[in-house]
Amino acid sequence: MTGAIRLDGGAMFGVVPKVLWEKVADVDGANRILLATRTLLAVDRSTRRVVLVDTGCGTKWAPDQAERFAVQYDPDAILKALAAIGLAVEDVTDVVISHLHFDHNGGLTYWYDEPGGPTRLSYPQARHWVHRGHWEHAKQPHLRDRASFLDQDFAVLADSGLLHFVEGESPDPPFEGVEWLVSSGHTPFQLHPIFGAGPTRLLFTGDIVPTVAHLPLAWVMAYDSHPLATVAEKQAVFRRCFKEGLLLAFPHDSKVGGVAIDGTVERPIVARTLPL
């Protein structure tokens, strides 16, 4: 977990009334709920591949902005996680960008001179994977979601030589041990990696299912571009969980990193939590 932010609880739970969601969320006096900003670290020692999925909200925050979202960010969190397994930033080979909202990938870059000044990539040796459709949307977002895309987070990627585009609705795997799932309910062409093989495969849910509280099908965000599409995408993910044994890793749950689910597609429940 790289840190945490607080976002409006009503926006995070859409049509679900507060009388229900306040029972499962840490809500403050400003109606903001606590959300983790998680980075998933995946390592394949045999191929020397070190993959980060999302990079958190980063450090490029003016004081008033940081206060608005109650931003907490540990710039050493990823460094410590890498060091714990004998690795360093220079060993990161791939960064998967689920989507370019500031709370997921503000950590792609940092101010290297002064606040508000030029930025540099946080992982300058790594290939950066993003869906082409999402990249194009992020450069020209809709009026409804443009506040979620901060050009300073990702502009330097364009000419870095490190940007790798994922194409289409059913993209080919980028390399062995990883496959892609694409969704567009929350934001156009959100990219979800699936790691591993057999019954131990792990899906990074991104903002299809941002927290364990969002497992119920109707509990989707008002932030979503197409909420009904998100519901259908959740159903498709849960079907795969029951058919293929997929495990789920959440980006925003402050207490639960991931789960295996039980129950049914229409009423999924937590079978066990994962040691993430």
State the SS3 of 83-133: HHCCCCHHHCCEEECCCCEHHHHHHHEEECCCCCCCEEECCCCCEEEEEHH
Specify which residues 34 forms β-bridges with: 6
On the question of pLDDT at 191 being above 80, the answer is yes
Q: Averaged over 49-74, what is the pLDDT? A: 96
Cα–chain center distance at 229: 18
* Residue-level pLDDT at 184: 98
On the question of pLDDT at 168 being above 90, the answer is yes
| 71-89 tens-digit pLDDT | 999 999 999 999 999 999 9
* Residue-level pLDDT at 18: 98
Q: How far apart are CA 151 and CA 90, in angstroms?
A: 25
Under 8 Å between Cβ of 202 and 240: no
Percent of the chain with pLDDT over 90: 96
pLDDT band for position 199 (cuts 50, 70, 90): confident
* CATH number where 88 lies: 3.60.15.10
| 2-43 tens-digit pLDDT | 999 999 999 999 999 999 999 999 999 999 999 999 999 999
* Residue-level pLDDT at 19: 98
CA within 13 Å, CB half, 217: 17
Q: Specify the range with the lowest mean pLDDT, choosing from 36-40, 75-79, 112-116, 150-154.
A: 112-116
On the question of pLDDT at 114 being above 90, the answer is no
Under 8 Å between Cβ of 74 and 3: yes
Question: In terms of Cα–Cα distance, which of 273, 256, 271 is closest to 24?
Answer: 256
Under 8 Å between Cβ of 182 and 169: yes
Under 8 Å between Cβ of 49 and 73: no
pTM of this prediction? 0.96
* Residue-level pLDDT at 198: 75
* Residue-level pLDDT at 200: 83
Cα–chain center distance at 224: 14
| β pairing state of 247-249 and 202-204 | parallel
Domain that holds residue 152: 3-273
For the chain, what is the domain count?
Answer: 1
DSSP tag of 27:
B
